Amino acid sequence: MRLQRRTATQHTTKKATKEGNIIEIIHPFHPDAGKKYEYVCKTKFYGNDYVTCTDKQGKCSIFPASITNLHTTSVELIGSSCAMTIEDFMKLKELTDDILRSNDM
Protein backbone atom coordinates (compact mmCIF):
# COMPACT_ATOMS: atom_id res chain seq x y z
CA MET A 1 0.00 0.00 0.00
CA ARG A 2 1.42 3.36 -1.03
CA LEU A 3 0.85 6.29 1.31
CA GLN A 4 0.17 9.69 -0.17
CA ARG A 5 1.84 12.76 1.26
CA ARG A 6 -0.49 15.50 2.51
CA THR A 7 -0.46 18.63 0.44
CA ALA A 8 -0.23 22.20 1.73
CA THR A 9 -3.36 23.02 -0.28
CA GLN A 10 -6.30 24.20 1.80
CA HIS A 11 -9.20 21.78 1.40
CA THR A 12 -12.71 23.11 1.34
CA THR A 13 -16.05 21.40 0.99
CA LYS A 14 -19.62 22.43 0.41
CA LYS A 15 -21.58 23.27 3.50
CA ALA A 16 -24.04 20.67 4.74
CA THR A 17 -27.58 21.33 3.61
CA LYS A 18 -29.42 20.30 6.80
CA GLU A 19 -30.08 22.95 9.41
CA GLY A 20 -29.08 22.49 13.01
CA ASN A 21 -25.99 20.43 12.33
CA ILE A 22 -23.52 22.52 14.29
CA ILE A 23 -21.00 20.62 16.36
CA GLU A 24 -18.80 21.92 19.15
CA ILE A 25 -15.35 20.82 20.29
CA ILE A 26 -15.94 19.91 23.93
CA HIS A 27 -12.60 18.42 24.97
CA PRO A 28 -11.27 20.93 27.52
CA PHE A 29 -7.61 20.62 26.50
CA HIS A 30 -8.07 20.82 22.72
CA PRO A 31 -6.87 24.13 21.22
CA ASP A 32 -10.25 24.56 19.50
CA ALA A 33 -12.30 23.83 22.65
CA GLY A 34 -15.57 25.75 22.55
CA LYS A 35 -15.39 26.48 18.82
CA LYS A 36 -18.38 25.53 16.68
CA TYR A 37 -18.27 24.00 13.22
CA GLU A 38 -20.83 22.94 10.64
CA TYR A 39 -21.18 19.17 10.48
CA VAL A 40 -20.53 17.54 7.10
CA CYS A 41 -20.24 13.81 7.77
CA LYS A 42 -19.04 11.15 10.19
CA THR A 43 -16.56 8.53 8.98
CA LYS A 44 -14.50 5.71 10.41
CA PHE A 45 -10.70 5.56 9.98
CA TYR A 46 -8.77 2.63 11.40
CA GLY A 47 -11.66 1.74 13.71
CA ASN A 48 -12.15 5.24 15.15
CA ASP A 49 -15.00 7.66 14.42
CA TYR A 50 -14.07 11.03 12.94
CA VAL A 51 -16.19 14.06 12.15
CA THR A 52 -15.65 16.15 9.04
CA CYS A 53 -16.84 19.73 9.39
CA THR A 54 -16.33 23.23 8.03
CA ASP A 55 -15.71 26.54 9.76
CA LYS A 56 -17.30 29.88 8.86
CA GLN A 57 -14.76 30.45 6.07
CA GLY A 58 -15.53 27.04 4.53
CA LYS A 59 -12.25 25.41 5.61
CA CYS A 60 -12.63 21.66 6.04
CA SER A 61 -11.44 20.09 9.30
CA ILE A 62 -11.48 16.54 10.65
CA PHE A 63 -11.74 15.84 14.39
CA PRO A 64 -12.05 12.65 16.41
CA ALA A 65 -15.77 12.29 17.21
CA SER A 66 -14.88 11.66 20.85
CA ILE A 67 -13.84 15.30 21.37
CA THR A 68 -17.06 16.72 19.91
CA ASN A 69 -20.58 16.99 21.29
CA LEU A 70 -21.73 14.16 19.02
CA HIS A 71 -22.64 11.28 21.28
CA THR A 72 -22.46 7.72 20.05
CA THR A 73 -25.58 5.79 20.93
CA SER A 74 -25.50 2.17 22.02
CA VAL A 75 -27.22 1.22 18.76
CA GLU A 76 -24.28 2.66 16.83
CA LEU A 77 -21.84 0.79 19.07
CA ILE A 78 -23.45 -2.62 18.67
CA GLY A 79 -24.95 -2.26 15.22
CA SER A 80 -27.34 -5.03 14.28
CA SER A 81 -25.42 -7.77 16.12
CA CYS A 82 -27.24 -7.40 19.46
CA ALA A 83 -29.14 -10.53 20.46
CA MET A 84 -31.30 -8.76 23.07
CA THR A 85 -34.03 -6.17 22.64
CA ILE A 86 -34.94 -3.34 25.02
CA GLU A 87 -37.86 -5.45 26.23
CA ASP A 88 -35.44 -8.28 27.04
CA PHE A 89 -33.29 -5.91 29.09
CA MET A 90 -36.37 -4.62 30.94
CA LYS A 91 -37.40 -8.22 31.80
CA LEU A 92 -33.86 -8.94 32.97
CA LYS A 93 -33.96 -5.87 35.21
CA GLU A 94 -37.29 -6.98 36.71
CA LEU A 95 -35.91 -10.49 37.39
CA THR A 96 -32.78 -9.04 38.96
CA ASP A 97 -34.84 -6.70 41.16
CA ASP A 98 -37.05 -9.64 42.25
CA ILE A 99 -33.98 -11.69 43.19
CA LEU A 100 -32.46 -8.81 45.14
CA ARG A 101 -35.74 -8.20 47.00
CA SER A 102 -36.09 -11.90 47.88
CA ASN A 103 -32.54 -11.94 49.30
CA ASP A 104 -33.38 -9.02 51.61
CA MET A 105 -35.94 -11.14 53.52
Counted domains in the chain = 1
16 in any annotated domain: no
Terminal alpha carbon distance of the chain: 65
- 41: containing domain: 22-104
Q: Tens digits of per-residue pLDDT, 33-77?
A: 889 999 888 888 888 889 899 988 889 989 998 888 885 544 445
Measuring CA to CA, how many Å separate 85 from each of 11, 71, 72, 78, 92?
A: 43, 21, 18, 12, 11
4 within some domain: no
pTM over 0.75: no
Task: Classify residue 64: in a domain, yes or no.
Answer: yes
Whether residue 42 is contained in a domain is answered as yes
Exposure string over 31-43, b if 16+ CB within 10 A, otherwise e = eeeeeebbbbebe
- Residues 2-39 pLDDT 10s: 555 555 544 444 444 444 588 888 888 889 888 999 98
The Cα 53–Cα 43 span in angstroms is 11
**Residue 8 domain-assigned (yes or no):** no
9 in a domain, yes or no?
no
